[in-house]
Amino acid sequence: MRFLGMNRSDWLLFIGFAVVTLAGPIIFSPIGAGYPDLLQKFAIYGIFALGFNILFGLTGYLSFGHAAFLGVGSYTAVWTFKLLTMNPIPAIIFATIVGGLFSAVIGFISLRRTGIYFSILTLAFAQMCYNLAYSVLTPITNGETGLQLTQGDPRVLDVAFGRDYGAVLPSSDLFGIDMTGYPGFYFCGVMLIICFFITLRIFRSPFGMMLRAVKSNQNRMNYTGLNTRPYALTAFIISGMFAGLAGGLLAVTDPLAGAERMQWTASGEVVLMTILGGAGTLLGPVIGAGVIKYFENIFSAFNETILMQAYSALPEGLQHFMVTLSSLFVGEGWHLTLGALFMLIVIFLPGGLMEGLRRLRNLFTKSSGGQGPGNSAETAHSATPA
């Protein structure tokens, strides 16, 4: 039973993914994440990580500069809002295209090298974009403050169609539906589902097989007379377009583009998301993105008052001790928790959270195992609990 090149379990995975995404507001509210902004971030960074995974998970090329594509996507989207229209569709189309163009140029140069040399080249390009955007390119990027909408923006298409936003600053809207709050989330969610579908197709296609071959042994591929670089470059551009789209969506849900989106730490973040979730797996990067964004937004918000309430059942001395101990890891200490989590995951679950899920399932289903942890393609195929 195959349809569009995907078998039944693929379709089940896809439908399950779509349902979970769309039901996000309900599923995530028990853990305090069921509010629009964080849900939007889940979806957007999910797209970013999915795209990164097409490059890193399949070909093994570790890029340290993907945040640059996210950043140019955001700038493009905001400029589209300013110059053309507040409708998000042109914004994300342009953001994706510009993300693709940037990645084509940077990828073409960087892919001349492999290994850590490739990583440093991508890092260098991204840092140049960031440093210039922060300082001398301020006329285009508005530097530290970030590119914002103003009432004086031309918005030629909106004007041509007679839309007038009056004295207030406009927010982007899809034919009248305001792109903030839950509608904004559903817009991003639908995009995430589309991107997931594309990723699934790539994973299952001959092209995806070729990319895996690039990872497993590039030399041997070259000896067969096949030039692998066009394949790697295509993967690089696709992932750059995903990043551009994610950047565009960031601007759609919140029309402000700042340079720090392009800093190397932001590039590092998407690497962490992908590896944390499980590089080379389908769902892993999305899960990893969710976990990191959850930490950033929820763990950082715990303060002493909240902790005191959490431990209020304990005797007073113990309560104070526990509050002091816990406050090392939450609130201003949330970075510590994140760092420790990375270490624990990498040490004990090299395949990321997806491997953890698979092990858990094996434990329960008592299946005889036999799947090597390194076989990521196989892992992706079998580990499909939504």
Instruction: Tell me how far apart the alpha carbons of residues 266 and 132 are, in angstroms, rounded to a whole number.
Output: 16
Task: With beta carbons less than 8 A apart as the criterion, state whether 225 and 286 touch.
Answer: no
Nearest approach in angstroms of CB 232 to another protein is 14
Touching another protein, residues 133-152 (CB under 8 A): 134-138, 142-146, 148, 151
Outline where 135-228 has alpha helix (H). 138-141, 156-160, 181-204, 206-216, 218-223
- Please give the full DSSP string across 209-229, using - where no structure is assigned: HHHHHHHH-HHHHHHTT---H
Outline where the chain has alpha helix (H). 8-22, 24-27, 36-59, 67-83, 88-110, 115-134, 138-141, 156-160, 181-204, 206-216, 218-223, 229-253, 264-277, 284-298, 304-310, 316-327, 334-348, 353-365, 376-382
Nearest approach in angstroms of CB 172 to another protein is 11
Q: Does 169 interact with another protein (rule: CB under 8 A)?
A: yes
Nearest approach in angstroms of CB 242 to another protein is 18
DSSP tag of 261: G
Exposed/middle/buried for residue 299 (C-beta within 10 Å: 0-12, 13-18, 19+): middle
Nearest approach in angstroms of CB 175 to another protein is 18
Q: Does 258 interact with another protein (rule: CB under 8 A)?
A: yes
Longest dimension (CA), the chain: 73
Q: Mark residues 70-99: x for contact with another protein by CB under 8 A, - for none.
A: ------------------------------
- Is the alpha carbon torsion for 122, 80, 258, 282 positive or negative? negative
Closer residue to another protein, CB minimum distance, 206 or 365:
365
Tokens matching residue 130: 């960031």
Closer residue to another protein, CB minimum distance, 15 or 360:
15
From 153, 173, 254, 355, residue interacting with another protein (rule: CB under 8 A) = 254
Nearest approach in angstroms of CB 268 to another protein is 7
Q: Does 11 interact with another protein (rule: CB under 8 A)?
A: no
From 167, 316, 369, 370, residue interacting with another protein (rule: CB under 8 A) = 167
Nearest approach in angstroms of CB 24 to another protein is 9
Residue among 364, 359, 220, 189 at smallest CA distance from 290: 189
Please give the torsion angle defined by the CA atoms of residues 365, 368, 373 and 376, in that order, rounded to the nearest 10 degrees.
-70
Instruction: Tell me how far apart the alpha carbons of residues 298 and 149 are, in angstroms, rounded to a whole number.
Output: 29
Closer residue to another protein, CB minimum distance, 315 or 369:
369
Give the SS3 label for residue 137. coil
Touching another protein, residues 315-354 (CB under 8 A): 328, 331-336, 338-343, 346-347, 350
Nearest approach in angstroms of CB 16 to another protein is 5
Closer residue to another protein, CB minimum distance, 24 or 208:
24
Q: Candidates 34-42, 47-55, 96-104, 189-197 — which segment interacts with another protein by CB under 8 A? A: 34-42
Q: Mark residues 52-71: x for contact with another protein by CB under 8 A, - for none.
A: ----x-----x---------
> Judged by CB under 8 A, how many residues of this single chain contact another protein?
96
Closer residue to another protein, CB minimum distance, 91 or 123:
123
Q: Candidates 76-84, 85-93, 205-213, 252-260 — which segment interacts with another protein by CB under 8 A? A: 252-260
Q: Does 124 interact with another protein (rule: CB under 8 A)?
A: yes
Closer residue to another protein, CB minimum distance, 136 or 159:
136
Instruction: Tell me how far apart the alpha carbons of residues 193 and 343 are, in angstroms, rounded to a whole number.
Output: 30
Instruction: Tell me how far apart the alpha carbons of residues 286 and 358 are, in angstroms, rounded to a whole number.
Output: 16
Closer residue to another protein, CB minimum distance, 102 or 160:
102
Closer residue to another protein, CB minimum distance, 195 or 349:
349
Task: With beta carbons less than 8 A apart as the criterion, state whether 271 and 62 touch.
Answer: yes
